[in-house]
Amino acid sequence: MNWGADLEVQPEEAALRLTQQPRPRLIDCRELDEWHLCRIEGAELVPLSIFAEQAPRRLLETEGDILVYCHHGMRSLHAVQWLRRQGYAGARSLAGGIEAWSLRVDATVPRY
């Protein structure tokens, strides 16, 4: 199920997609210290600081949907732009990041 050509997806749409099959890969591109503060359940950590090195090893399939998030949505947008250039057409950034997720989808995810 493709999200369309947009680089970003709103938190509510992302939450819905994460309940459907096939489930998008959920990638947290924040740094390890941020990961320890909070994260969205089911996420895999691939920090932006090593993204270009690690993503090709971790994301072997260019097909399928990938949802990338960070704190506010800027780093994940950079990661998605990089992924798109590498052929990952289904990559999307979570608009507003984990902050928006906490405010609009899951208030149990701590804000920082």
The count of residues in the chain is 112
Asked if residue 22 has a cis previous peptide bond (ω within 30° of 0), the answer is: yes
Q: Helix or strand or coil: residue 33?
A: helix
- Lookup: tokens for 61: 């399939």
Bridge partners of residue 27, in order along the sequence? 44, 68
Q: Is 38 considered catalytic here?
A: no
From the candidates 55, 70, 79, 91, which is the catalytic residue? 70
Q: Which residues are catalytic?
A: 70
